[in-house]
Amino acid sequence: MSPQQQQRAIALLKDAYAAFNRNDISAAVHALDPNIEWQEPAEFPGGGLYHGRPEVARYLTSSRVPWAEGASEPVRFTVSGDRVVVFVHARFRLKDGTTFTEVDLADVYTFRNGTPVAMRAFADRNSALEWVGLPRSE
């Protein structure tokens, strides 16, 4: 991606995370390719492979159901070829709980013509970096 394409991709992703955090799932998936392939790790609640915006929207909606409050904040964006690795810090409190859970993870988006066509989530940030051929983070 050119520097301008990288800036647009990162802005698009920031907007999508902000929409998810305000529970506007329609806006969160709006810029995704209609046939996006979305993969969540098996160890995540509802983990698996989802195809297309409607399935991704259903997954994102269901992922928030147990939350009383919370957010998934992108903290770092790293571009590698046509992919953007997003380090995410998720902090949430479940409806039946009183304490917050905090999780650091990574999402990798593959772009084609300025549009995310695939997303793969990783429970381990270094695994995401290795998957795209980048060195591990310290």
Nearest Cα to 75, choosing from 54, 102, 94, 47? 102
Range of the domain at 54: 3-130
CA dihedral 138, 120, 26, 70 (to 10 degrees): -40
Alpha carbon distance 108, 121 (integer Å): 6
Structural contact between residues 93 and 105, judged by C-beta atoms closer than 8 angstroms = no
Alpha carbon distance 45, 48 (integer Å): 9
138 pLDDT band, cuts 50/70/90, is: low
What percent of the chain shows pLDDT beyond 90? 81
Has residue 137 been placed in a domain?
no
Structural contact between residues 6 and 79, judged by C-beta atoms closer than 8 angstroms = yes
Q: What is the pLDDT of residue 112?
A: 96
CATH code of the domain covering residue 87: 3.10.450.50
Alpha carbon distance 16, 13 (integer Å): 5
Structural domain count of the chain: 1
Handedness of CA 20, 110, 36, 58 (dihedral sign): negative
Q: What is the pLDDT of residue 46?
A: 84
Has residue 136 been placed in a domain?
no
Has residue 80 been placed in a domain?
yes
Alpha carbon distance 108, 87 (integer Å): 9
Q: Which residues contact 4 (CB under 8 A, 6 or more apart)?
A: none
pLDDT tens per residue, range 112-131: 999 999 999 999 999 999 99
